[in-house]
Amino acid sequence: MDKQGLLQKAFEQQETIAAEAIADPIKPEGDAPSIQKILVTLIIGALMPTLLLAWFGIYLVPDALPITTVVPIVSIISIIGVWFYLGVGLPISVGGAGVSPIPASIVVFSYLSMILLPFILGSLLVGDMSIGSADINEDGSELNVKIRQNGGSSSTVNASVTIGTWSETMQLSINRSDGAGDYGLLTLTISDFYSGNPELSPSKPEYVAPIMEIIVDGNTMSTKLDANVFFRTITDVQSSINAIMSEDSDDCGSHDNCVIGASLIVWIGLEANSRPGPMPLADYNLSANLFYEDGSIAIPYPEVTVVRGKATWDSESGEYGSGAASVGEDTDGDGISDIGSELPLQGSVQEPQFGEFKYIPKDGWGESDYGCYYFTIEVTQVEPYNLSSPTISETSYYNYVEETDEETGAPPSESWLPTDSC
């Protein structure tokens, strides 16, 4: 073969090699990151987010966003970040400079392992079924029961639920997941199985919590429910009216002191040695009126509605306070009053010594003569919580009198004192 033929053949071979290089999307290995860099990047960018979701997902992920949605989103963001940080590259067919085979293989294999391993282990190692938690919903009307079983089937099965004398068969599927694992959810309406306030144990000074038993495919599970959830029936109401006194001559005229208003306070809850105990989950309506001795109304307070410790009423343009108050005190910031059962019924005048509390001025009473007054309150609950009585009432009595000292000739004074009856 002559020199011209050899040159022609070499030229053709070079053209073939160049064409193959252009068509081949694989990067030269010299541009690939080191194995150490790949492993460190995978640990920080892939493994750590996965472990954080697995351990703390129940706290990090909002309730409105299922963790089954969050995990794929986090995985996609993670693999994109790792892929571009390592410079693995993109195929030439999509406008890239080519893909480095070794780091691409390691990244793909690592993510497939993290995604597929839990499913493989879940199918081989199915956990025991158990009751995870039983929590009330926001309005206190339902009990949400989590039945946990890691790797459990999402097929629907029958679950027999028993609380006291109440029993019902419900449908259960292990079709949810959170940071603690896989679970199914049973939603129970509390009014369906409510049977009254818990009772004190005869052997211990504590309330007996109701027992919930659940049977699924022959597997029996049971747990004590939170006794506080079942304190719903009002058993005691009390009231008090304190007189607001003044010594100002502009208020009292020739009197040494005088009554210029009244603060109305009621307590509603569980019967106790002194004041009623708190019942933050009890819902009820309250009627409160102050009467003069002849039956005429001195203070007709608007009807009060209480839902989970939040009281509301018609303020009548500020005549009766703001129209809202809390029963007792909210100590843990969850919006539910959990200490005390006191409900102040406010008026329109604020007295600095009482803080933000506003009293009802006497010049706004329907009757304000000296004599005997009685304050009647009625609490009404709806079924099934009104087990003791549909309406619980209480009346307190007060003498509003003028006192004079004829011997000394001192200016007259007024008093407002509790009494047994009118």
Q: Are 353 and 338 in contact (CB under 8 A)?
A: no
* Residues 233-272: tens digit of each pLDDT: 999 999 999 999 999 888 898 899 999 999 999 999 999 8
Report yes or no: 289 and 300 within 8 Å, Cβ to Cβ: yes
Q: What is the pLDDT of residue 40?
A: 76
Bridge-partner residues for 135, per DSSP? 144
- Across the chain, mean pLDDT equals 81
How many other CB atoms sit within 10 Å of the CB of residue 308?
17
Tens digits of residue pLDDT in 101-140: 777 777 777 777 776 666 655 555 556 889 999 999 988 8
SS3 content of the chain, % helix, strand, coil (to 5): 25, 35, 35
Q: Does position 288 have pLDDT exceeding 90, yes or no?
A: yes
Is-cis flag, bond preceding 276, omega within 30?
no
The string over 385-412, giving b where at least 16 C-beta atoms fall within 10 Å of a residue's C-beta and e elsewhere, is bbbeeeebebebbbebeeeeeeeeeeee
- Quick one: tokens of 242? 């304190």
- Report all structural domains of the chain as residue ranges with CATH numbers, in order of start: 23-124 (no CATH), 130-230 (2.60.40), 236-419 (no CATH)
**Is 3 a residue whose pLDDT tops 60?**
no
At residue 26, does pLDDT exceed 60? no
DSSP 278-323: P-TT--EEEEEEEEETTS-EEEEPPPEEEETTEEE---TTTTTTTS
Q: What is the pLDDT of residues 210-238, one digit of tens each?
A: 999 999 988 899 999 998 889 999 999 99
Specify the pLDDT at position 274: 86
Per-residue pLDDT, 73: 77
